[in-house]
Amino acid sequence: MILGITGHRPPDLGGYSEKAFQVLVDLAKDTLVLLSPRAVIQGMALGWDQAVATACWELDIPYGAYIPFEDQPISWPKASRFRWATLRDHASVERLFGKKYDGDLLKIRNKAIVDDSDKMLANYNGYVHSGTGHAVNYAKQQKKEIINVYGQWITRRNEAGLESD
């Protein structure tokens, strides 16, 4: 099974701390072990995407980096740009959809993730006016199974004492 990824960014997932990121990685690892995908496709965004890519790397699961545009991390802090570049270097497959920022490229990238996957793994809080909301809606239209771990995230976030959404 090829598993596509969609999920929120750090402000909706406990913040930007390394502690919050590690809680996300641990959730991703536990979920990936249960699902046993043959490969994973994710969009390289901060938050859930990069947590899942990190989990894949640590578990030796091949993952695809579907990059909306080459400048994706240009405005991110140095440490975040470094993590993005490292994860990109370790991806087994890369698809690049453009050079410069264009909001449509984010939607095109998300559609490709859904189209190229058998199932979707989401960390989705139900907010429909978001990139994750659009990806989940498109996956539903395509009759893809969506496994949403947001409830598990809330439990782990609370146990770790992280900030609320």
- Stated pTM of the model: 0.96
DSSP code of 13?
A: T
Task: Give the domain CATH number at 140.
Answer: 3.40.50.450
Q: What share of the chain is helix, strand, coil (3-state, %, to 5)?
A: 50, 15, 35
Report the C-alpha gap between 158 and 133 in whole angstroms.
23
The pLDDT tens digits for 46-80 are: 999 999 999 999 999 999 999 999 999 999 989 99
Residue 30 lies in a domain: yes
* Amino acid letter, 21: F
Domain that holds residue 128: 2-160
Q: What's the total number of domains in the chain? A: 1
| Region for 47 from its dihedrals, namely left if φ exceeds 0, alpha if ψ lies in -120 to 50, beta otherwise | left
Residue 163 and residue 17: Cα distance in Å, rounded? 10
Q: Could you tell me if residue 84 is inside a domain?
A: yes
Q: What is the DSSP string of 37-98?
A: -SEEEE---TTHHHHHHHHHHHHT--EEEEES-TTTTTTS-HHHHHHHHHHHHH-SEEEE--
Phi first, then psi, for residue 73 (nearest 5°) are -95, 10
In a domain? residue 165: no
Give pLDDT tens digits along the chain (165 positions): 999 999 999 999 999 999 999 999 999 999 999 999 999 999 999 999 999 999 999 999 999 999 999 999 999 989 999 999 999 999 999 999 999 999 999 999 999 999 999 999 999 999 999 999 999 999 999 999 999 999 999 999 999 998 765
8 A C-beta contact, residue 13 and residue 154: no
